Amino acid sequence: MQPTQVDEIRSRIKRVISKITNIPAQEIADGASYIEDLGLDSLSALEVVIDVEFEFQFKVPESEVPEVRTVEDTVRLVERHLSFATV
CATH of domain 3-86: 1.10.1200.10
Would you give the DSSP letter of residue 70?
A: B
Query: With bands split at pLDDT 50, 70 and 90, how would you rate the model's confidence at 87?
Result: very low
The predicted model scores a pTM of 0.90
Return the pLDDT at 1.
59
Q: What is the pLDDT of residues 63-83, one digit of tens each?
A: 999 999 999 999 999 999 988
Domain boundaries defined on the chain: 3-86
Report the distance separating Cα 39 and Cα 3, nearest Å. Answer: 29
**How far is Cα of residue 7 from the mean position of the Cα atoms in its chain?**
12
Return the pLDDT at 86.
55
Q: What is the pLDDT of residues 27-55, one digit of tens each?
A: 999 999 999 999 999 999 999 999 999 99
- Percent helix, strand and coil across the chain, each to the nearest 5: 70, 0, 30
